[in-house]
């Protein structure tokens, strides 16, 4: 069975078969999701998740997260923290089916197997609610009269045997677009599933969907499939179908070179997670994501801050910019760690929105553990905020600590 490799972002890919490596390089050249180190070897960048090559090799890329005092946490700990962050990511429409209780149970599996497990569990729940059916016109030669006789075919087929009737009648049949799409998704996943429990779930579902023909045109079936009031239990399953079958996830690719990929841009995942935490763990300010928009010039060039903390009257009190970058790793917590472009952008936000304080929010690490305060030349306050993503409680503490520093 092909191997499974787990690496952290910004790390070099493991030693792979030359065919697998060629596929990954081809994916990079088409999508620019990876990078190369100084020696010219392919490495992971800020896209994390899983890639499965045509040969079946699985490469799982996990984010670089420091958890408490553990600078090198286990993959299970890192995976759990990452999945908690994914629950708030807007690019994953099925994030709500990642309950914390399930995350802790599933953290031992690679990300792809976790998503497959959730899809199969949801599919089993769907079957308890009943497989969706629709009336289809059936033509057949029966020994009894049912529906209406098709006279031309009846005369041709039963000229000698007068005991039969060639008829057309309506029959409730599971052969409908949504079920054909689910069958196609199961067929797509079957060769790449490794976890024994997932393989057993697939085998248990196979007899039910074997009666449904394979889709002849996936895109047409997706376009015409519908979820009526009798099929509301299909909603979550069809979200997984879209992710696996049509590669319409946050950053999914497949085809000639890659069998299946689920890659998430950590910059966006982190930004949306921080936004979610400021909404959930404080009620002093209204949190506005990507806004409110204001023009930077007379003609266009709208400004849209990552996160704005606004008063009840709508005044922007603080502007926060979330950056998925590990600062302080060289032992230096000074402003020299910060990109000049980030400082220019925050300064422009502060002036345009007339704020007294702006902030850059970075993931917490063993060096960068406490907020740092600096001043621009005209006394505009800049706070560097360490944000702990290791758990819900840790993130709550980070929000409260950040507000105290912003208010000082």
Q: So what's the pLDDT on residue 211?
A: 83
Express each pLDDT in 234-278 by its tens digit.
Answer: 877 887 888 787 754 444 444 444 556 778 888 999 999 999 999
Residue 155, helix vs strand vs coil: helix
User: Which pLDDT belongs to residue 232?
Assistant: 77
Report, as an integer, the average pLDDT of 308-329: 88
Band (pLDDT 50/70/90 cuts) for residue 154 is confident
DSSP annotation of 70 reads B
Q: Check pLDDT > 90 for residue 28.
A: no
* Range of weakest confidence among 64-73, 133-142, 274-283, 354-363: 64-73
- pLDDT of 53 strictly over 50: yes
Q: Residues with Cβ < 8 Å from 73, sequence gap 6 or more? A: 65, 66, 67
Q: 89-98, 124-133, 339-348: which has the minimum mean pLDDT?
A: 89-98
Cβ proximity of 290 and 304 under 8 Å: yes
Q: Residue 132: which region, alpha, beta or left (left: phi > 0; alpha: psi -120 to 50)?
A: beta
Residue 178 contacts residue 143 (beta carbons within 8 Å): no
Tokens 């850059």 sit at which residue?
A: 360
Beta-bridge partners for 52: 58, 260
- CA 42 vs. chain centroid, Å, equals 24
What is the pLDDT at residue 46?
A: 85
- pLDDT for 249 equals 46
Q: Look up residue 62 and give its two tokens.
A: 């996990």
All residues at 6 or more sequence positions from 360 whose CB lies less than 8 Å from its CB, including other chains: 320, 321, 323, 338, 342, 346, 382, 383, 384, 385
Between residues 281 and 369, the one the model is more confident about: 281
Residues 212, 214, 218, 221: is their CA dihedral positive or negative? negative
Report the alpha-carbon distance of residue 173 to residue 179 in Å, rounded. Answer: 10
Give tens-digit pLDDT for 162-192.
788 888 766 667 788 888 898 988 988 888 8
Over range 84-96, report the average pLDDT. Answer: 69
**The token pair that represents 187 in the structure block:** 């067929």
Interatomic CA distance for residues 127 and 256, integer angstroms: 33
User: Can you tell me whether residue 89 is helix, strand or coil?
Assistant: coil
Whether residue 111 has pLDDT greater than 50? yes
358 pLDDT higher than 90? yes
The pLDDT score that the predictor gives to residue 251 is 44
Share of the chain above pLDDT 70, in %: 84
> What percent of the chain shows pLDDT beyond 90?
14
Q: Which long-range contacts (CB under 8 A, 24 or more apart) does 380-383 make?
A: 380/347, 380/350, 380/351, 380/355, 380/356, 381/356, 381/357, 382/343, 382/346, 382/357, 382/358, 383/357, 383/358, 383/359
pLDDT digits 0-9 by tens, 12-26: 888 888 888 888 888
Q: How far apart (Å, rounded) are the C-alpha atoms in residues 181 and 59?
A: 27
SS3 167: strand
Q: Has residue 286 got a pLDDT over 90? A: yes
Q: Chain-wide mean pLDDT for the chain?
A: 80
Asked whether 159 and 198 are in contact (CB, 8 A), the reply is: no
**CA R_g for the chain:** 27
Instruction: Report pLDDT for 97.
Output: 56
Q: What residues does each domain of the chain span? A: 4-130+196-204+231-264, 134-173, 281-407
State mean pLDDT over 122-131: 82
* Separation of alpha carbons 165 and 157, rounded Å: 9
Closest CA to 350 of 375, 386, 381: 381
Q: Which long-range contacts (CB under 8 A, 24 or more apart) does 10-16 make?
A: 10/43, 10/44, 10/45, 10/64, 11/43, 11/44, 12/37, 12/41, 12/42, 12/43, 13/41, 13/42, 13/43, 13/44, 13/59, 14/59, 16/57, 16/59
Average pLDDT over every residue of 333-345: 76
């Amino acid at each position: 069975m092909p191997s499974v490799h787990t690496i952290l972002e910004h790390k070099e890919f493991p030693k792979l078969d030359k065919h697998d490596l060629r596929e990954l390089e081809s994916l990079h050249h088409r999508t620019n999701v990876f990078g190369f180190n100084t020696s010219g070897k392919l490495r992971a960048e800020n896209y994390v998740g899983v890639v499965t090559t045509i040969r079946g090799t699985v490469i799982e890329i996990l984010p670089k997260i420091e958890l408490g005092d553990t600078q090198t946490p286990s993959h299970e700990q890192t995976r759990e923290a990452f999945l908690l962050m994914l629950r708030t990511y807007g690019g994953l429409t099925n994030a709500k089916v990642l309950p914390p209780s399930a995350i802790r149970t599933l953290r031992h599996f690679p990300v792809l197997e976790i998503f497959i497990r959730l899809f199969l569990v949801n599919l089993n729940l769907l079957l308890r609610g009943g497989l969706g059916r629709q009336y289809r016109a059936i033509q057949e030669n029966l020994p009894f009269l049912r529906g209406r006789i098709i006279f031309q075919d009846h005369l041709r087929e039963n000229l000698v045997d007068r005991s039969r009737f060639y008829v057309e009648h309506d029959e409730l049949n599971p052969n409908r677009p949504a079920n054909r799409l689910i069958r196609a998704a199961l067929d797509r996943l079957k060769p790449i599933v490794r976890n024994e429990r997932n393989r057993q779930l697939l085998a248990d579902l196979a007899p039910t969907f074997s009666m449904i023909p394979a889709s002849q045109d996936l895109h047409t079936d997706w376009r015409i499939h519908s979820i009526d009031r009798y099929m509301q239990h299909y909603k979550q399953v069809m979200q997984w179908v879209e992710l696996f079958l049509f590669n319409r996830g946050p950053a999914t690719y497949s085809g000639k070179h890659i069998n299946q990929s689920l890659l998430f841009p950590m910059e966006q995942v982190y930004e949306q997670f921080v936004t979610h935490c400021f909404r959930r763990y404080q009620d002093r300010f209204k949190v506005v994501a990507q806004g409110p928009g204001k023009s930077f010039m007379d003609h266009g060039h709208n400004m849209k801050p990552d996160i704005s903390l606004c008063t009840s009257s709508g005044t922007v009190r603080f502007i926060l910019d979330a950056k998925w970058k590990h600062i302080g790793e060289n032992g230096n917590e000074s402003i020299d760690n910060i990109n000049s472009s980030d400082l220019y952008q925050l300064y422009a936000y502060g002036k345009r929105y007339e704020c007294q304080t702006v902030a850059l929010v970075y993931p917490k690490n063993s060096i960068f553990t406490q907020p740092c305060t600096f001043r621009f030349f005209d006394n505009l306050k800049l706070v560097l905020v360490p944000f702990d993503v290791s758990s819900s409680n840790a993130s709550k503490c980070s929000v409260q600590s950040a507000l105290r520093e912003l208010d000082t």
